[in-house]
């Protein structure tokens, strides 16, 4: 159910209370209320009046389509240039446009998506090395120059553990390279084979974190040492 608003044939009021400007493509046809989806049969379309400029109110007894209250004779108003609806000037400024659904001057109904916070710990965090306050998203301290591999806040103990793991990984990589070089010398094959079997499988997970290169070198040293050891055993027996 709908009713025509005043003497403006382009505006109808839905039973849900929404004031709707009749879409141009729906002239003379039924359409749905954008607020409650109820079916509305508009009255016959007549030429609309020219838009009036914002002025002091001369629209006594008119109703503001935003706050739904009567407009006093001495209240400042704004008349929508699209649909000719009258609004309190303060109401128009507050919502940023017309209060009529479907009007081009109506504010967008899309909700702005709030930007995600840069960090769950606020804007600042404490550098674990020098204890100065730095940006929460910083990966390098601007005071002491310490660099971090994560934006998560770290304690001094966390940094020490990371340094220890980094040093241990570097040492393991050097051992693997040494085993591979030693495996190229056949005379060292039995020693390299035993050392490789004891070391490489035990450090498999640690070496795998840095890619396949060191794993390939480690197991290649075991394979070469095994081959040389078999050849040496064959020469010794035959």
Show Cβ contacts of residue 74 under 8 Å, excluding neighbours closer than 6 positions: 56, 57
Out of 57-61, 64-68, 76-80, pick the least confident: 57-61
Residue 200 vs residue 121, higher pLDDT: 200
**pLDDT tens figures, 191-220:** 999 999 999 999 898 888 878 899 999 999
Please tell me the distance from the alpha carbon of residue 137 to that of residue 122, in angstroms, as a whole number: 9
Q: Looking at 36-149, list the stretches that DSSP marks H as alpha helix, in order from N- to C-terminal side.
A: 89-95
Whether residue 137 sits in one domain with residue 203: no
Residue 127 lies inside a defined structural domain of this protein? yes
Domain count for the chain, please give it.
3
Percent residues over pLDDT 70 in the chain: 74
Q: pTM of the prediction? A: 0.38
The CATH number of the domain holding residue 87 is 3.30.40.10
Domain residue limits at 177 = 156-237
Instruction: Output DSSP code: residue 136.
Output: T
Whether residue 126 sits in one domain with residue 97: no
Q: Mean pLDDT score of the chain, rounded to an integer?
A: 77
């Amino acid at each position: 159910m709908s009713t025509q608003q005043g003497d403006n044939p382009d505006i109808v009021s839905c039973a849900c209370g929404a004031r709707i400007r009749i879409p141009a493509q729906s002239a003379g046809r039924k359409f749905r209320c954008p607020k409650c989806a109820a079916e509305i049969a508009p009255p016959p379309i007549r030429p609309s009046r020219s838009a009036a400029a914002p002025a002091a109110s001369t629209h006594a007894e008119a109703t503001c389509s935003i706050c739904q209250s009567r407009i006093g004779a001495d209240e400042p108003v704004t008349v929508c240039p699209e649909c000719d609806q009258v609004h309190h000037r303060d109401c128009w400024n507050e919502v940023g446009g017309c209060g009529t659904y479907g009007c081009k001057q109506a504010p967008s109904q899309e909700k702005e998506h709030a930007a995600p916070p840069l960090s769950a710990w606020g804007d600042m965090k404490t550098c674990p090395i020098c204890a100065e306050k730095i940006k929460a998203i910083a990966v390098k301290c601007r005071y002491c120059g310490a660099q971090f591999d994560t934006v998560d806040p770290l304690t001094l103990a966390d940094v020490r553990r990371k340094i220890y793991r980094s040093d241990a990984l570097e040492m393991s990589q050097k051992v693997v390279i040494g085993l591979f070089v030693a495996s190229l010398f056949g005379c060292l094959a039995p020693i390299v084979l035993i050392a490789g079997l004891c070391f490489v499988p035990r450090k498999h997970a640690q070496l795998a974190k840095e890619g396949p290169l060191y794993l390939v070198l480690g197991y290649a040293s075991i394979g070469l040492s095994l081959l040389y050891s078999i050849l040496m055993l064959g020469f010794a027996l035959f």
